[in-house]
Amino acid sequence: MRLPGFVHRKGEPFVSRITGTIDAPPYKAADFPRARAQKKPSGDPTADINEVRAALAIIPVENPDWSYWNRVGMAIWRATRGSDAGFEAWDQWSQGYTVARRHR
């Protein structure tokens, strides 16, 4: 479902608009999935935090674009089941970008 006035970004972007109406009853709240709390990945972590830190030590961080930075973060979140230690390792890795920029 697209809401009028929002930009649709798949393919060539365009602003969604109402092009017509249907004489059908309105949707009920029960027709939509309920919002869920933040999901944790299922299963055991796939990597030990020390393995994650070792991997981050060799992953380049000099000039990541948002997509690259996000993919690394999501991979760590999954591998550590969203643990605080995983976040801290990723946060420390992310700070390397700032340090690298200061030394140019």
Is residue 55 assigned to a domain? yes
pLDDT for position 100: 47
pLDDT for position 35: 59
User: How many domains, in total, are found in the chain?
Assistant: 1
Is residue 16 assigned to a domain? no
Q: Please check whether residue 70 is in contact with residue 102, taking contact to mean a CB–CB distance below 8 angstroms.
A: no
Domain span at residue 89 reads: 45-104
pLDDT for position 49: 92
Write the CB contacts of 73 (distance below 8 Å, at least 6 apart in sequence). 90, 94
Is residue 21 assigned to a domain? no
Is residue 7 assigned to a domain? no
Is residue 80 assigned to a domain? yes
Per-residue model confidence as pLDDT tens for the chain (104 residues) = 667 788 877 788 888 888 888 888 877 777 777 655 555 555 566 788 999 999 999 998 877 788 888 899 999 998 998 889 999 999 999 888 755 455 44
pLDDT for position 20: 82
